[in-house]
Amino acid sequence: MKLLISNDDGVNALGLRTLVNHLAEAGHDVMVVSPDRERSATGHGLTLQHPIRAEVVESIFHPNVKAWMCSGTPADCVKLALWALLDAPPDLVLSGINHGANLGTDVLYSGTVSAAMEGVIEGIPAIALSLCSFQSREFTVAAQFATSLVAQLEQNPLSELLLLNVNVPPLPQEKIAGVIVTRQGIRRYIDVFDKRVDPRGKTYYWLAGEVLEEVEDCPIFADQAPTDVAAVREGYITITPLQFNLTSAPGLSELKQWQATNLKF
- Per-residue DSSP letter, 221: T
CATH homologous superfamily for 2-184+220-253?
Answer: Survival protein SurE-like phosphatase/nucleotidase (3.40.1210.10)
Residue 217 — pLDDT band, cuts 50, 70, 90?
low
Cα-based angle 187, 231, 18 (whole degrees, multiple of 5): 90
Alpha carbons within 13 angstroms on the beta-carbon side of residue 156 total 3
Q: Enumerate the known binding-site residues for a divalent metal cation.
A: 8-9, 40, 98
Check residues 224 and 28 and name the one with the higher pLDDT: 28
Q: Enumerate the known binding-site residues.
A: 8-9, 40, 98
242 burial type by CB count under 10 A (0-12 exposed, 13-18 middle, 19+ buried): middle
pLDDT at 73 over 80: yes
Q: What pLDDT does residue 215 have?
A: 58
User: Distance between CA atoms of 53 and 40, rounded to whole angstroms?
Assistant: 19
pLDDT in tens, 133-144: 999 999 999 999
Q: With DSSP H G I counted as helix, E B as strand and the rest as coil, what are the percentages for the chain, rounded to 5? A: 30, 30, 40
pTM above 0.75, yes or no: yes
Q: What pLDDT does residue 193 have?
A: 85
Q: What is the mean pLDDT of the chain?
A: 92
